[in-house]
Structure 1
Amino acid sequence: MTKKRIDKFGKTFEYLKDPETREREMGQSLLTVDGAIFQGIPFEDMDWKNIVFKNCDFFGNYDIGPNTQNNVRYEDCRFSGILSFGKTHNVRFLRCAWVGAPVMFAEKGSTDTVFESCTFAGKSPNPNQQGGVGSHGDAEFIDCYAKWFSLVGDASLTLRKCECEGASIETDSEANSGDDFLSSKVVIQQSKLRGYFDMRATSLHSLSIQDTVIERFDISRSTVKQSVVIERVKGGYLNMYPQHADSLAVRNSQLYGNDNKIFSAYAGSFRTIEIDNVTFGGGTNYPPVVVAGGFSKISESRISHVSENIRIKNSRIPYLASDYLNTPFFQIVNCEIDDLDLSNGRVENLEIQGNLIRRGVNFSNTQVKQSRIQPLTKAQVKLDGSNIRLN
């Protein structure tokens, strides 16, 4: 298809530049723009509504900057450069492509903005050379492919049936917007996150990942106001070391490790932790599953964080490292564990019941107030410096 510059489109060009004239002459009728090249001609501060752009190219820096877009659809379009979508409502991008390192966002307050069957192809794995597309309001990505790209949703962000490779998520932060910054609700469903998926140092309201394949996922240094929920996930390595989050739940999942790591959760960051029906790792040279921390390794007088309760149930864990815990309640029930490290902890109520523990348990230097511990042989247990008494 031969495309031509938008200024060669006569009345259509005039209507895009002057929406008031368009409304006087054609009312609220749908305007279709097919096969246009937008480059070198500014479109700024107008209100676009009831428009379909088909097979159009949007190139350039700061050329496109409508004030608002309402009921606008982009089909099979290409984008490159630094452009703005304006404040959007009911805006759809269908089978569109972003190549290189474009920067394009809908503005704060945008709602119902959807990218479907789109491609985001970055030019480098270097985060400083990657593009970013999304919304400073709500954004939804459905059946999209992103490689070396940042997907943005400051108020909410949904990835559904997407495939990402070396991609990342970005959200609003206090550094960007001050004290009233937005905390994004992030939902990832039925997707494939290949390579390293980066959510480090994000500020979230909540995070939910369901029915997704993950190779390496990282939320270290992030803050989450409410819950982190991971369900029916198959993957490699999850780094759950945020600065703060309310709760963590991992359920009905299989995590087999990546780069000699499987799962790391800083217990002191979460008010509650629940792990239920999860299979971790396998084989003989297995790395630890880490659910640990909260009691300082530097000094017994330093207690950095206290979690409310930690529950691990119905799971297969070759090596569970839960040392230096500081929690009122810690429970391990109905699990298969080869090696268990519960050393150097402060636990008010410790329950270990109904588990198959194949090798050793290290209770060294752990202090408890109450405990219910299943029968263990003396050869299995290390108790040096601990007040735990076995039944």
Structure 2
Amino acid sequence: MSKKTNIRNIEKSFNYLDNPDWRKRELGDDVLVIRDAEISGINFIDLSWSNLHFINCDFFGIYQIKLKSLRNTTFEDCRFAGVVSWGKANNLRYIRCRTGGRSIVLDYSGSSNVLLEDCDFLGSDPDPNHWGGIGSRGDATFVRCRMKWFSLAGYKQINLESCETADVKIWTDSRANSGEDYFSSSVKIESSKLRGKFDMAACDLQSVTIKDTYLDFLDLSGAEIKNDVLIERVRGGYLNASAHSMGKLTISQCQILGRRKNFSFEVGMDSAEEVLIEHCNFGTDPTLSVGLGAGRPLEPNEWTTTPKNKYALIRNSTLPVMDASWLESRHLRLENNTIGSVDISDSRIGKLEISGNTISREVNLQGTKVKESKIQPLAKAQLKLDGANIRLN
């Protein structure tokens, strides 16, 4: 960090920060501008700050700044190193700010309206155990920011707009952290580039929306998502949407063409109440699968009487290999797709419909039990029905 004047040597500003009541008596609610200062080496503990504008300031130290609250404050061209706690924060704005390493800049539960614009948050170590974090224990919006090897916090909501990331992790609340009253975050990402791994695995989330975004590897495995997941006009590599549970999953107008362990896209459809996959291209590589089933054999006592998945529709899409084996669904429909091969073996499906698809290789329905089915005409050599109770139309 460049050498700046320590805040203790900017006497008036220091006194105002150190004694907020005195400042209010002198200035009322006027904004206090502090420029070119180094805020370090001094403890600001359990104070309530408000109506501040820091310009080109450096903040560093370990828990030397641990406020009770911070309101209506802007940080412009500022740098942070260490651990800073704003207390309960409301209406914060970071403009062209920077932090890195293991630095953590955060607030308390009950915070709201934290906006970060044109900022750089760059870690120095690829090991996630050594990453820093920034954001809010309320809601945080990142606009045109660049992040690498860093955690992005948002206990109620995380928004990314026109951002670029490389190997980052979402930092959310959890039952283990806050008990039964924990927050579950809504995540919204638009017009961004997510390089490396964008990690939301095992998070407790309210909803997920991703639009008009490039990604290398999006990981939602093991997440608990209370409401819906919408992924629209996304292109790139590998998408693991194998959450433990979610509401409706919609994947629309996407190109997911990458390779990871022979999969481009994975989701346990039986973890979602509804699934809609439409106008998507998963490529034509016959060694690359789209995994839609349980992905493992189910024991007899694991089959449920009423599957969580009420309806799954895949239409107008291109899939090289569709693997929906060991699937539980009340209604599965494949319509007007171009598919290399289909595996719906060992599944339990209330109503199975396959119509209008172009399928170049086999359709494996071995061991599958259905209550009702409607299957398009297929070449005899394509179809495998051993152990199934399906009758052809």
Q: Could you state the TM-score of these two structures normalised by the residue count of structure 1? A: 0.97
Deviation at 1:235, TM superposition (A): 1.4
> How many angstroms apart in 2 are the aligned matches of 1:298 and 1:7?
67
Kept in 2: contact 1:80–1:102 (CA 8 A): yes
Task: Return structure 1 stretches of 4+ with deviation > 6 angstroms.
Answer: none
Kept in 1: contact 2:349–2:371 (CA 8 A): yes
In structure 2, give the amino acid aligned to 1:303: W
In structure 2, give the amino acid aligned to 1:206: S
> How many angstroms apart in 2 are the aligned matches of 1:389 and 1:2?
79
In structure 1, give the amino acid aligned to 2:378: L
> How many angstroms apart in 2 are the aligned matches of 1:121 and 1:363?
50
Deviation at 1:388, TM superposition (A): 1.2
> How many angstroms apart in 2 are the aligned matches of 1:306 and 1:140?
33
Counterpart for residue 6 of structure 2? 5
> How many angstroms apart in 2 are the aligned matches of 1:298 and 1:278?
29
Counterpart for residue 315 of structure 2? 313
Counterpart for residue 18 of structure 1? 19
In structure 1, give the amino acid aligned to 2:51: N
> How many angstroms apart in 2 are the aligned matches of 1:217 and 1:258?
12
In structure 1, give the amino acid aligned to 2:302: R
**Which range is displaced more, 308-317 or 256-265?**
256-265
Deviation at 1:299, TM superposition (A): 2.4
> How many angstroms apart in 1 are the aligned matches of 2:298 and 2:25?
73
Residue 299 of structure 1 pairs with residue 334 of structure 2: no
Counterpart for residue 286 of structure 1? 287
Deviation at 1:127, TM superposition (A): 0.7
Kept in 1: contact 2:113–2:138 (CA 8 A): no
- SS of the counterpart of 2:227? strand
> How many angstroms apart in 2 are the aligned matches of 1:253 and 1:299?
34
Question: Superposition pairs for residues 95-114 of structure 1, below 5 Å?
Answer: 95-114=96-115
Deviation at 1:86, TM superposition (A): 1.8
Pick from 268, 272, 290 the counterpart of residue 270 of structure 2: 268
> How many angstroms apart in 1 are the aligned matches of 2:301 and 2:363?
25
In structure 2, give the amino acid aligned to 1:27: G
In structure 2, give the amino acid aligned to 1:145: R
Kept in 1: contact 2:298–2:326 (CA 8 A): no
Counterpart for residue 210 of structure 1? 211
Kept in 1: contact 2:248–2:275 (CA 8 A): yes
In structure 2, give the amino acid aligned to 1:186: V
- SS of the counterpart of 1:262? strand
Question: Superposition pairs for residues 1-391 of structure 1, below 5 Å?
Answer: 3-259=4-260, 260-283=262-285, 285-293=286-294, 297-303=297-303, 306-391=308-393
Deviation at 1:293, TM superposition (A): 2.1
> How many angstroms apart in 1 are the aligned matches of 2:360 and 2:74?
60
In structure 2, give the amino acid aligned to 1:237: Y
Structure 1 runs not aligned, ≥5 long: none
Deviation at 1:42, TM superposition (A): 0.8
> How many angstroms apart in 2 are the aligned matches of 1:124 and 1:170?
17
Kept in 2: contact 1:4–1:35 (CA 8 A): yes
Same amino acid, percent of matched pairs: 41
Kept in 1: contact 2:66–2:86 (CA 8 A): yes
In structure 1, give the amino acid aligned to 2:196: G
> How many angstroms apart in 2 are the aligned matches of 1:298 and 1:93?
50
In structure 1, give the amino acid aligned to 2:70: Q
Q: Could you state the TM-score of these two structures normalised by the residue count of structure 2? A: 0.96
Kept in 1: contact 2:151–2:169 (CA 8 A): yes
In structure 2, give the amino acid aligned to 1:114: L
Deviation at 1:309, TM superposition (A): 1.3
- SS of the counterpart of 1:226? coil
Deviation at 1:261, TM superposition (A): 2.2
Kept in 2: contact 1:2–1:35 (CA 8 A): no
The CA deviation string for residues 299-346 of structure 1, in whole angstroms up to 9 with x for no partner, is 234216542111101101111011111111000001101101111111
> How many angstroms apart in 2 are the aligned matches of 1:132 and 1:28?
31
In structure 1, give the amino acid aligned to 2:331: F
The CA deviation string for residues 52-79 of structure 1, in whole angstroms up to 9 with x for no partner, is 0001000000011222111100000000
Deviation at 1:298, TM superposition (A): 4.1
In structure 2, give the amino acid aligned to 1:369: K
> How many angstroms apart in 2 are the aligned matches of 1:86 and 1:9?
24
> How many angstroms apart in 2 are the aligned matches of 1:184 and 1:78?
27
CA RMSD of aligned residues (A): 1.4
**Which range is displaced more, 241-250 or 30-39?**
241-250
Deviation at 1:2, TM superposition (A): 5.8
- SS of the counterpart of 2:181? coil
In structure 1, give the amino acid aligned to 2:303: I
